[in-house]
Chains A and B, each alone.
Chain A
Amino acid sequence: MLENTVPLSHYLMLSATLFVIGVVGVLIRRNVIVVFMSIEIMLNAVNISLIAFDHYMNLSNGQIFSFMVMCVAAAEVSVGLAIIISIHRNKPTVNLDDFNLLKW
């Protein structure tokens, strides 16, 4: 069946890869929207690993937890986008490095 076809390690590899892509995206991209999307990728990478574990261990906690993550992510997206829009109104740019006022 399914467990014979795709082993757990593959899912985990996928999850890790996506997560690293997300991290790198956050670190190297300057576009706010892209950074934001990278964060979403990281979240979903974690979701994948959660569900994979859930499946292989015959539990349902992981699914519930990933739903939780989705909810939080949805909320986070709405707040984050609102912030981005209001920042954009003050400064007509989406370049993250232009928003460096909040320091000493």
Chain B
Amino acid sequence: MLLKLTCLIPLYPLIGSIINGFFGLKIGKKAVGFIACGSMVLSFLTSVLVYVGFLMLPEGQHVFEQVVWTWFGAGDFVVDFGFQVDPLTLVMMFVVTGVGLIIHVYAVGYMQEEYSYYRFFAYFNLFVSAMLLLVMGNNFLLMFIGWEGVGCCSYFLIGYYFEKKSACDAGTKAFIVNRVGDFAFLLAVMYIFNVFGTIDFTDVMHAAPEKLIYGGEIVTIITMLLFVGATGKSAQIPLYTWLPDAMEGPTPVSALIHAATMVTAGVYMLVRCSVLFNLSPLTMIVVAFIGGGTAIMAATIGMTQFDIKRVLAYSTVSQIGYMFMACGVGAYTAAIFHLVTHAFFKACLFLGAGSVIHGIHGEQDMRNMGGLRKHMPVTYWTFFISALTIAGIPPLAGFFSKDEILYHSLMDGNIIFWGMGISAALLTSFYMFRLVFMTFHGVSRVDPSVHPHESPKIMTMPLVVLAGLATVGGMLGIPLFHGWHILHNWLEPVLHFDLASALQHSEHMLHEAGRHAPSWAHLLEPKEHNLWIESLLMVFSTVIAITGVAGAYIFYIKRPDLPEKFTQGQWGLDMVQNKYYVDELYDDVIVKPTVEGSNLLWQECDAKAIDGTANGIAKIIGWCSRQAQTLQSGFVRNYALFIVVGFISLLLVMF
């Protein structure tokens, strides 16, 4: 049975990581690269086999669970170490192993000069293993293990250049900011266990419509906590500040962890718990607002940054904002669709940026680039295609996925969400092409002593593959015609949600509690797929995307003096360039009080009160001992006197 192979998928990278981690220095760079990529190949092939096995499941069965062993149990609380394969997991598995494999190959070339090559690949493989655990686990706790695992590997890899203070700080920041979200996630898991008595995904999702009241407090609290967890990992407002700093890590890390896979874990989690979120309209609105807000805010910051990787980082934050907005309006398919296409084009963009950085020897500032098109044609063309994709030019993948989100945000949400989305789309195409034009076009501003060169084949091939995927990835979800949306049909069993029966249950529960159920009739009105509006929106967003590109063209190629003129004396620019001073705000409001409070506790409470008490007791005892020590005079006759006196007093006491 092919599905039995499921448990091997996360195991291969784990083994690769262990071998590389412990014996990496001895076996040499070639072997390390071979083992790292080999484990990914095996993992990918196994995923394909599992996919085939999944297709062979009998009709109507959409989930396969494999329990490897019982992890622990205490009373009613039993947690299995088990995997779950369903359409959603399979999509994520292919993204993680497929894109992961491509980036591994790239990294073999990119990291060639590094001394601790083996350390990088050990962490990299470990990351993939944890990520697979995250998407394949069949209960919340196992997901949490993966969740923490990827966070930990992210920390290791951001701080890969640990001699650099900024890299260490960035790693610490990422870890701590993530912890905030993780804490909320853990609380959510505890609450779920409290309510359902189980943390198995299938059981919880099955029981949720019958146990939870639509729009009730319990489900709202649970989903809010889950969402806070997601904001931490997926870099959304208010916990997004770590992601731009995470660019201190090597570029393949940024591509794999901080663009393609780990940061989308929050989206995956939301889609996985879609049943719970569907039950809480309040949380949905919050999710959509946060997502849309993040999309716009990060896009504006992205426009003003000059570090090539930072622009891409803000772009990532912004695109994940899109995915959250899609989840918020209930368009989970669109979110996953965008997740997949985003993984392709953002990985390609990051790797392209890495190739540029590699080609001009570590320069990351776009003001010192320009005119690189001639020197690195492959990088340029793949980068260009991916930039078109993210800008949303048809018929590339990003167009389809982004458009679907925009369509749903208008139809299932309201005009505000759509407005947020479309303005973020305009900004996206503008800053992306600002990046392209500043880097590859115009006059060269590269340091004359540096000779830009194209990267080796092992780095450009992954770029080509990813650019190809970014081009054709849109075929997964062709809009307009009903039934052509492959991804939608594929994910249908996972996302299936019977609102009518859930509402009936809720009404019943409310009646039993003696409360009056509000009218939910309007929720059940069928929504029609409006072909005309969708086509119109498509045309409109294409125009918007082209406007953005044209704007960037005018600003950065035609009239390079314009940006200067345009921003001269604008008070807003400073604010945006400084990322809305959010980092400073967090520093002042959270970090500094924490540090000062800790200092206070340390110096006043710990050093004075606690140490004072402990030392005081010791001092008192020491003083008593010094008094007692005079008894031991060293004169034998004294002792004899004590014996006699003692004996006589004993006699007196006894008789």
Contact = CB atoms under 8 A, between A and B. Distances in A.
Partners in one complex: yes
Interface of B: 629, 632-637, 640-641, 644
Contacts of B636: 35, 96, 99
Q: Which 4 A-B pairs have the closest CB atoms?
A: A100-B634, A103-B634, A104-B629, A103-B632
B632 A104 contact: yes
Contacts of A96: 635-637
A1 interface: no
Contacts of A101: 634
B644 A27 contact: yes
A98 to B, nearest CB: 10
Interface in A43-102: 96-97, 99-102
Contact of A100 (B629, B633, B641, B644): B633
16 contacts: A26-B637, A26-B640, A27-B640, A27-B644, A28-B637, A30-B637, A35-B637, A96-B637, A97-B635, A99-B634, A100-B633, A100-B634, A100-B635, A103-B629, A103-B634, A104-B632
Contacts of B634: 99-103
Contacts of B633: 100, 103
A66 B629 CA distance: 39
Contacts of B632: 103-104
A95 to B, nearest CB: 11
Given A26-B637, A96-B636, A96-B637, 8 more contacts: A30-B637, A35-B636, A96-B635, A97-B635, A100-B635, A102-B634, A103-B633, A104-B632
Contacts of A102: 634
Contact of A23 (B629, B635, B644): B644
Contacts of A100: 633-635
B624 to A, nearest CB: 14
Contacts of A35: 636-637
Nearest to A30: B637
Interface string A8-30: 00000000000000010011101
A28 B640 CA distance: 10
Contacts of A99: 634, 636
A55 B644 CA distance: 29
B128 to A, nearest CB: 66
Contacts of B640: 26-27
B636 to A, nearest CB: 6
A15 B182 CA distance: 88
Contacts of B644: 23, 27
Nearest to B644: A23
B372 to A, nearest CB: 82
A104 B641 CA distance: 19
Contacts of B637: 26-28, 30, 35, 96-97
